[in-house]
Structure 1
């Protein structure tokens, strides 16, 4: 019943996300640690503000401690990247973040991290899922709830300052302090407020916060910083005349941006802005890494500076691994996650937001003007993203037709090549492209397309939807 996607294990609360399944997965991980001989290095566990997240963390801790695994638990809701950072800093063998990230409120889940704070490789999560399927409730060894709090194997950590100081130390606080920026922060009822507000206030920014209360229903919206969820932030930025608005998803590993004019900046645009800034503003050198569904404008920036842009499958573990191999400056994906060289090997919305604020402060001009200069320099590309639900029967049909028989519609432009490395990606000779793949976190098929205009990108996406009779 436990299936890992690109963002960990996520399931509906009370359906597959249950106490029994959390305990089985914790037992499987404990067994793996014993088999690898890394038990003494221990494990870090954190949780977000979702319903049952804190409780589920202790369900897992009872089992881990019952198997002799030392556990460091961060006993307050924190950003998932803090768990990754702590795994790396403490030398722990593994980490667990109890979160379903940006999924709807009825979901929860677990993200697994390996040595250094990396997203667990597919081989690791596949083995954990397979081993979990062989376990029964009687195979689980655990401490009783009243025993685990007193166990010498369990260390409770309340401070988040080591993680925040690591981010602050990377920023040009002097430049930010003298820019006198006004920023609206929307944590989307998630965990970002304390962390990001602390970073921004340390840099003397004037910070206004919306949607900060604890609400496991996330205000009735998806805790995802996509354009459709950013209306409250856009209104707040315009009403206050703010320099920019920053939104983060439920566990703060992704971000969304509203500029000074109230315009939404997509994750693709943010990636391009930051890569250009790191190269020209901070004088860094190195390539960039993106997944197959992320803007090719990054390729243009890299080429202009004599650098390389590496394309990898969807899943941040591929980005972080390739960054390590190539010493890349930055890596990211169109869903809003990115990381920068010298930080954690995974997504961090807190650090990315701080770096973007530094960029605006040092530029001495509005964010809208900065991006306008990017388009003048490199041209414009527009991405269209669509998600289509399916029944189990249709999944089998779509799997066969698209990913086995490689059936595709007739497009209105010449095809340069097609890749089937991760789903299907069609590269057109005019620089446009389109991807089709099953989501790793939700029961939907995703279609991404990018072209010089929104109309062209939409036409490419509609060609797929009409050919396979897909409905949003």
Structure 2
């Protein structure tokens, strides 16, 4: 079944345009509520709703709340809080479903909806297909006596702070480290600084003053230049950059060097090996740098490449019984710590490696120089037009032949935008850029 609304990470789009409208959110809440009620039988159903800091969150939250209540489902409102916090609290509070209102790293004009199961995990395609089928059915409003209620969980942020701290060894401390935390003016603006502060670090912040419009604007994991500058200015040891819903991580060291998700995943794995913990395998994606794959091979650790998207990384980890995986973009998974990707917990895992080894991040990665990658996003009038473009196919064959054994080519449509992503990885930056530009130019002649 082809899904109309759900993409690779929930439902996402521009606010005010279908489906990110209050009437659709009312219908969505009602439909999901009915799906829950059918699954629960006579037992009551409860849903948690969290959101990031976008101004549209108020509107969408109230519409979803009404939809769930109209189906006879109770709602617990968490307020602005990271996506992984919703996953944790859904499981901890024994709720039936977690809902996140966020468009992650997108600008404030966008918003979206993500769902978590009662166990704090992403839901399968089959569940999404059931919801989409239900959206075409007429509503079945609950009678007055059976309507759901809503309440607010006032200590949600505090509960999540304690959970994050519990993933860091009690025998270790962050004392002596000066950190800059950039919360992207997003969902972690309240909790992220406190987690690191309460573990002993000297914490300075940027991107922790949301106004509803500045989420991800010139800050956070997708725009780390401001963090780099602040780390250098303060002489901090490390900088921590989250995205708008705090499930993505980038880090910066004192020199201003930026470390991506591939490098951070490698540090997490080698720290466990040094501590005598087995690492039977690691899951990356089609975007994982070839240098990281070769570094894992030298350690005797297989790396499996999943499709791009943290849900596919999670599926592969569960299938193989492994615990570590992630994406270059900074979505990192440590399933022995949390059920989903968590930027704060991932940062703690990396800092744990730094503290335990006494070795700076750059030194630990000295033998793993990344292959240069060039990524170009080509906006297309028709999403799949590139598939039937003979000239583009011929140019792809040329690139693959030229890169044989010395690099990689990856072409994939975005799951959230009408663009084609062209990535070329090569031993030198000039070669990667040359082929990426040549491929993009084929689709944009003149």
Match of 2:5 in 1: 3
Match of 1:225 in 2: 221
Match of 1:176 in 2: 173
Aligned partners of 2:319, 2:123: CA distance in 1, in Å? 17
Asked if 2 retains the 8 angstrom alpha-carbon contact of 1:45 and 1:72, the reply is: yes
The reply on whether 1:210 has 2:206 as its aligned counterpart is yes
Asked if 2 retains the 8 angstrom alpha-carbon contact of 1:23 and 1:140, the reply is: no
Match of 2:161 in 1: 164
Pick aligned residue for 2:371 from 356, 381, 393: 381
* C-alpha spacing 1:24/1:251, structure 2 compared with 1 (3 Å): same
- Please give the secondary structure, in 2, of the residue aligned with 1:184: strand
Aligned partners of 1:43, 1:281: CA distance in 2, in Å? 39
Match of 2:316 in 1: 322
Match of 1:188 in 2: 184
Aligned partners of 2:263, 2:358: CA distance in 1, in Å? 19
The reply on whether 1:435 has 2:431 as its aligned counterpart is no
**Structure 1 residue 191: deviation in Å?**
1.8
Match of 2:66 in 1: 62
Asked if 2 retains the 8 angstrom alpha-carbon contact of 1:2 and 1:129, the reply is: yes
Aligned partners of 1:192, 1:47: CA distance in 2, in Å? 10
What is the root-mean-square deviation of aligned Cα atoms in Å?
Answer: 2.8
Gaps (5+ residues) in structure 2? none
The reply on whether 1:309 has 2:303 as its aligned counterpart is yes
* C-alpha spacing 1:470/1:385, structure 2 compared with 1 (3 Å): farther
**Structure 1 residue 81: deviation in Å?**
0.3
Aligned partners of 2:216, 2:32: CA distance in 1, in Å? 34
- Please give the secondary structure, in 1, of the residue aligned with 2:190: helix
- Please give the secondary structure, in 1, of the residue aligned with 2:297: helix
**Structure 1 residue 155: deviation in Å?**
4.0
What do residues 202-242 of structure 1 show as CA deviations (whole Å, max 9, x unaligned)? 1210000012112222278266513xx22211111001110
Aligned partners of 2:435, 2:123: CA distance in 1, in Å? 34
The reply on whether 1:46 has 2:21 as its aligned counterpart is no
Match of 1:457 in 2: 432
- Please give the secondary structure, in 2, of the residue aligned with 1:176: coil
Aligned partners of 2:317, 2:170: CA distance in 1, in Å? 26
* C-alpha spacing 1:223/1:130, structure 2 compared with 1 (3 Å): farther
Aligned partners of 1:290, 1:143: CA distance in 2, in Å? 49
| Aligned 1:85-124 pairs, distance under 5 A | 85-124=88-127
Q: TM-score, normalised by structure 2?
A: 0.90
Match of 1:424 in 2: none
Gaps (5+ residues) in structure 1? 416-427
**Structure 1 residue 142: deviation in Å?**
7.2
What do residues 389-429 of structure 1 show as CA deviations (whole Å, max 9, x unaligned)? 1223xx24224348xx96652435538xxxxxxxxxxxx54
Aligned partners of 1:156, 1:448: CA distance in 2, in Å? 44
**Structure 1 residue 183: deviation in Å?**
0.5
Match of 1:418 in 2: none
Aligned partners of 1:232, 1:448: CA distance in 2, in Å? 26
Aligned partners of 1:234, 1:121: CA distance in 2, in Å? 38
The reply on whether 1:400 has 2:388 as its aligned counterpart is yes
**Structure 1 residue 7: deviation in Å?**
1.7
Asked if 2 retains the 8 angstrom alpha-carbon contact of 1:174 and 1:203, the reply is: no
**Structure 1 residue 99: deviation in Å?**
0.6
**Structure 1 residue 98: deviation in Å?**
0.6
Matched residue pairs, number? Answer: 440
- Please give the secondary structure, in 2, of the residue aligned with 1:97: strand
**Structure 1 residue 2: deviation in Å?**
6.0
**Structure 1 residue 46: deviation in Å?**
0.9
* C-alpha spacing 1:401/1:88, structure 2 compared with 1 (3 Å): farther
The reply on whether 1:19 has 2:22 as its aligned counterpart is yes
Aligned partners of 2:278, 2:165: CA distance in 1, in Å? 19
- Please give the secondary structure, in 1, of the residue aligned with 2:211: coil
* C-alpha spacing 1:205/1:234, structure 2 compared with 1 (3 Å): same
With 234-243 and 168-177 compared, the bigger mean Cα shift is at 168-177
Asked if 1 retains the 8 angstrom alpha-carbon contact of 2:219 and 2:227, the reply is: no
What do residues 135-167 of structure 1 show as CA deviations (whole Å, max 9, x unaligned)? 56xx263799xx99xx77434212233332222
* C-alpha spacing 1:220/1:69, structure 2 compared with 1 (3 Å): closer
Aligned partners of 1:332, 1:50: CA distance in 2, in Å? 26
Aligned partners of 1:470, 1:350: CA distance in 2, in Å? 43
Match of 1:257 in 2: 251
* C-alpha spacing 1:460/1:87, structure 2 compared with 1 (3 Å): farther
What do residues 162-195 of structure 1 show as CA deviations (whole Å, max 9, x unaligned)? 33222212213543344x0000111111122322
**Structure 1 residue 461: deviation in Å?**
1.8
- Please give the secondary structure, in 2, of the residue aligned with 1:5: coil
**Structure 1 residue 439: deviation in Å?**
0.8
The reply on whether 1:390 has 2:394 as its aligned counterpart is no
**Structure 1 residue 360: deviation in Å?**
1.9
- Please give the secondary structure, in 2, of the residue aligned with 1:199: helix
